[in-house]
Structure 1
């Protein structure tokens, strides 16, 4: 069994956090257009929108390299503005036995939690990926403020 870890980062947003939750829940297919430096492609493989049981994939840039992640939507809590995305395929699973990203929003804050289990003790913490989602959040915030 590998070493388990959890990274949590919250970023203050000037737009309401519920708008960011709504974007990921209903309009996630727009994220590549909103944040093209970080996200290249989004696709829903199973389900019509981001709902519990949906399977989605992302192509993204991590430290200058193209990456891919397919995720199962495990949980959506509309009251907590929370979505739990569990990796089921992709580059991240080369280094981690399990990898789950949780996004939640409240008032002026968006919080990203990455829960993971390393395959080996020498595997680095997923700090680069955490930085990517924080930068993507800033792009989304700027987009929502333009509206």
Structure 2
């Protein structure tokens, strides 16, 4: 059995791709105010939330348990409205050697957008489960945020 993999989900949302990308590329610190699934976040290292050398500390609820991790932005592709986040430390390092979230906001001509999340991972061993709980988390997290973006 392979220890590395990718899991993707696509979620139709009502807010525009531009609003979504702007939130994740330029206002990431607001996410903690838009969903109960994120308990808090703070800038751990660096001066700017959106610089690739900055590290953020996240506290969130996953499968009913408060969990923490550190996150940094690996890359931002404005043309394709795609951001790659690397997650590490906290609960992540016990199960994964590599763990990334790839966010993409895709414009829909009929209005709204499609938010595509890809979880790219490498487990530390076969005993570690693939990160299906994170995909479920991202799906619910996206629904929560969409409701707030529509009000803005």
TM-score (ref. length: structure 2): 0.90
Structure with the higher fraction of residues in helix conformation: 1
Please list every run of 5 or more consecutive structure 1 residues that lacks an aligned counterpart in the other structure. Answer: none
CA distance in 2, matches of 1:96, 1:87: 10
Q: How many residues align?
A: 145
1:131 to 2:130 alignment: no
4+ residue segments displaced more than 6 Å: none
Structure 1 residues 83 and 47: CA distance shift in structure 2, 3 A = farther
- Once the two structures are TM-superposed, the CA of residue 49 in structure 1 deviates from its matched residue by 2.4
Q: Deviations over 1:103-123 (max 9, x none)?
A: 111111111011100111121
CA distance in 1, matches of 2:123, 2:8: 17
Residue of structure 1 in register with 2:34 after alignment? 34
CA distance in 2, matches of 1:51, 1:74: 9
Please list every run of 5 or more consecutive structure 2 residues that lacks an aligned counterpart in the other structure. Answer: 108-112
CA distance in 2, matches of 1:28, 1:120: 32
Residue of structure 2 in register with 1:141 after alignment? 146
- Answer whether contact 1:28 1:42 (CA < 8 A) is retained: no
TM-score (ref. length: structure 1): 0.93
Q: CA RMSD in A?
A: 1.3
1:120 to 2:125 alignment: yes
Residue of structure 1 in register with 2:42 after alignment? 43
CA distance in 1, matches of 2:133, 2:33: 21
- Answer whether contact 1:3 1:118 (CA < 8 A) is retained: yes
Residue of structure 2 in register with 1:83 after alignment? 83
Partner SS, residue 92 of structure 1: coil
- Answer whether contact 2:29 2:49 (CA < 8 A) is retained: no
- Answer whether contact 2:74 2:85 (CA < 8 A) is retained: yes
